Amino acid sequence: MHSLVQLVQGLKDLVWLPIEQYCKDGRIVRGFQKGAASFGTSTAMAALELTNRVVQTIQAAAETAYDMVSPGPSPIELKRAKRFSHHRLVHQPVDLREGVAKAYAVVKEGITDTAQTIYETAAREHENRGVTGAVGGVLRQIPPAVVKPLIVATEATSNVLGGMRNQIRPDVREEESQKWRLEEG
């Protein structure tokens, strides 16, 4: 809903700011500049927020699928419980550069976790059941290993989109950061 309000506000500014500027000092061109800038920013923010929400929805669906195809206790649930607690909401990327850096870290961690899980499963099953157990353990890890890149990609994309949004409007990041700090305390 907030994104829709932003779009409407941008459209209003596109029309109203030139009129307001003209009434103020007769410089209609300056009003068009202000209106176009406001419209561009509002539209970009709305598009980024909507896209980020879609990406987060896809991530939630992928995490659910991962939980369903993972053998044993869910590693995603265990990580989410310790990692999510508003930490991501308070510590958003400041700008696009930091968003890309965080996205890189997420991808690196995701690849490392997947490889480590497959290796540990193979080693554990090899100890218990031999080569056949190791092969079976690796085969059981294939479905989660196929879904995991989607989770990693959506989380990385969310970081990049958040960085873009916060670079365009740093004040929004500060407001959300303060909001979550107040709710935690």
The tens digit of pLDDT for each residue in 33-53 reads: 988 998 888 888 888 989 999
35 with 17: CB under 8 angstroms?
A: yes
pLDDT at 94 over 70: yes
pTM for the whole structure: 0.73
What's the pLDDT band for 152 if we cut at 50, 70, 90?
A: very high
What pLDDT is stored for residue 75 in this prediction?
Answer: 53
User: CA angle 117-118-123, nearest 5°?
Assistant: 100
Q: Taking residues 109-115, what's their average pLDDT?
A: 92
Give the integer Cα–Cα distance in Å for 100 and 178: 23
Domain span holding position 101: 2-184
- Show the tokens assigned to 126: 């090899």
Quick one: pLDDT band at residue 183, thresholds 50, 70, 90?
Answer: low
- Exposed/middle/buried for 115, CB within 10 Å: 0-12, 13-18, 19+? exposed
CB 55 within 8 A of CB 158: yes
**Number of domains, the chain:** 1
